[in-house]
Chains A and B, each alone.
Chain A
Amino acid sequence: MPNQAEKIQKVSIIVSRGTLDGVYPGLILANGARMEGIEANLFFTFFGLYAVLKRFNHKLRIATVGNPALRVPHAKGLPLPTLLGALPGMAALATRMLQKQMDKLDIPSVPEFVEMIHDAGGHLYACKATVDLFRLSPEDFVPQVERVLTVGDFYQLAAGGPIIFT
Chain B
Amino acid sequence: MAQKHIAGTVIDVDEEGYMTNRTQWNRQVAEALAQELGITLTPAHWKVLDFIDRDYRERGVVPGIRRLNKVAGIPTKELYALFPDGPIKKAAKIAGCPKPASCV
- Listed in ascending order, the chain A residues whose CB lies under 8 Å from chain B are 1-2, 28, 31-32, 34-37, 105-108, 112, 115-116, 119-121
Contacts and interface: CB of A to CB of B under 8 A. Distances in A.
Interface residues of B, number: 21
Interface centre among B63, B80, B84 (most CB of A within 10 A): B80
Contacts of A28: 103-104
B15 A37 contact: no
* Closest 4 pairs (CB-CB, A-B): A37-B85, A119-B76, A106-B66, A119-B77
A39 B69 CA distance: 22
Contacts of B89: 35-36
Contact of A35 (B15, B16, B69, B86): B86
Given A119-B75, A119-B77, A37 B104 contact: no
Contacts of A106: 63-64, 66-67, 102, 104
Interface of B: 15-16, 63-67, 69, 75-77, 80, 84-89, 102-104
B66 A108 contact: yes
A16 B98 CA distance: 36
A10 to B, nearest CB: 13
Contacts of A108: 66, 104
Contacts of A121: 80
A9 to B, nearest CB: 11
A119 B77 CA distance: 5
A34 to B, nearest CB: 8
